[in-house]
Structure 1
């Protein structure tokens, strides 16, 4: 039996999920995505679900996107493209599960992150990149649409249509500086400080209330759909846990 392509470990309230297929630069093969989806399900159903999930890639690169060797094999087996569609649906599920997770997800980015690898990072709530990282959206040069797994929509939701259009059509390299300027990443640090920066954010998140964090993330995803009663109830529960007076409707609030 082949070794797993994914390593998952838990350190208290923080889980680490590491893609470990450096030979293929952590490409999102079908097997890799199956293992990631299964790992997310396992973490979600653990007693005392972790508060934070750190997603990283072993070796020099974070993730070079879809596995082009696998694409070629699938097209050779079935020229109709059914296999590619199947992979795309799995990618869409993976991105959706990351972005909708109750765990705060942090992408730890080093080296290259390409195509669907950029979308994978964009599906995470927070993104920290090393200053020598380099991203790209080369799909058009490969005569592929920027559509696999809903990657384009994931990026548009994070940074806006205009910026995605620029990167898609010009195919310019996404340096760490440009990624920070465009809001694709939230912080850029020297390679030696990458783990330290991720750990510092994870500790801060864990110190916050679980219910307050979850409700706040829900508000960001669908602010119109979340009723004020649900928000006030979550605030009241959190306040009771910390023995402070809960906010009342019609009075000042913090946001």
Structure 2
């Protein structure tokens, strides 16, 4: 169980853009820049990631969309402050459902866009952050990286994450991560194929990838990704089922209470 306490932050949005974009030769670097919120996935963050993907696809020279974190965290998934505001006063989980739909749509686009989506992980990854990594074409991680699915501690299920994660790892590693909620090391994640390579310098690894990727036509990259997805069982019906289960779980009494306890008193479920 990851018992590190998130920083005490209020519901005021963090200053500055939710992501930073840096154009490099053949690469669009996207840095999640909400370290005070553990680089969680709010609505604006998901919108910014989708816009970054649009920009990468529109650039005929771009071959890699590189997603990285900041402040020792890649991404921790659901923004609980945003979810707590949505659930305030017993309201329906409408906002959470919309966020889940945007998250699923983004992951599906990762699997069809004619650029290589690379997750560069250096530090903590949890919840939906694991989903972002699993949906990427390639995952590079440093030794200090750890991956966890803590949703069950909150009375939730990693509904939107598991289809992409199982596609990468097979059933048992993904199921065990969801059931046990304990972080797994980068080396362990590499052993069951969530991580493609553990590297001391992710940027150097990306440069090595570009030696080959820059020789591919973007249409070929897109065709390969579409063909690979067609060989797997996930489809729009899978996404609809995942979203329905996620919305139901967020609105459950257990999840409402635990999310509210966190947003009002910063009380974590394991305390």
TM-score grouping bracket, smaller chain normalisation: 0.7 to 0.9
Q: Per chain length, whose mean CA-contact separation is higher, i.e. which structure has more relative contact order (CA < 8 Å, sep 6+)?
A: 2
Match of 1:164 in 2: 174
CA distance in 2, matches of 1:99, 1:11: 22
- SS of the aligned residue for 1:65 comes to coil
> Which residue is 2:206 aligned to?
198
User: Which residue is 2:45 aligned to?
Assistant: 32
Q: Deviations over 1:53-86 (max 9, x none)?
A: 1111122111111111111111116621111111
Which residue number in structure 1 is paired with residue 224 of structure 2?
A: 216
Q: Any idea what the Cα deviations from partners look like across 1:102-157, whole Å, max 9, x if unmatched? A: 1011100011000100001111100000011011001111110111xx21111112
Name the structure 1 match of 2:143. Answer: 131
Residue pairs, 1:145-160, within 5 angstroms: 145-147=157-159, 150-160=160-170
* Residue number in structure 1 paired with 2:186: 176
Identify which of 116, 129, 135 aligns with 1:104.
116
- Structure 1, unpaired ranges of 5+: 225-255
> Structure 1-normalised TM-score?
0.79
Secondary structure at 1:113 match in 2: strand
Give the C-alpha shift of residue 178 in structure 1. Answer: 0.9
Task: Name the counterpart of 1:20.
Answer: 33
Contact 1:155–1:164 (8 Å) recurs in 2: yes
Q: Which runs of 4+ in 1 moved over 4 A?
A: none
After TM superposition, the score normalised by the length of structure 2 is 0.75
Q: Structure 1: how far apart are the matches of 2:167 and 2:90?
A: 33
Question: How big is the alpha-carbon RMSD for the aligned residues of Structure 1 and Structure 2?
Answer: 2.0
- Largest Rg, 1 or 2: 1
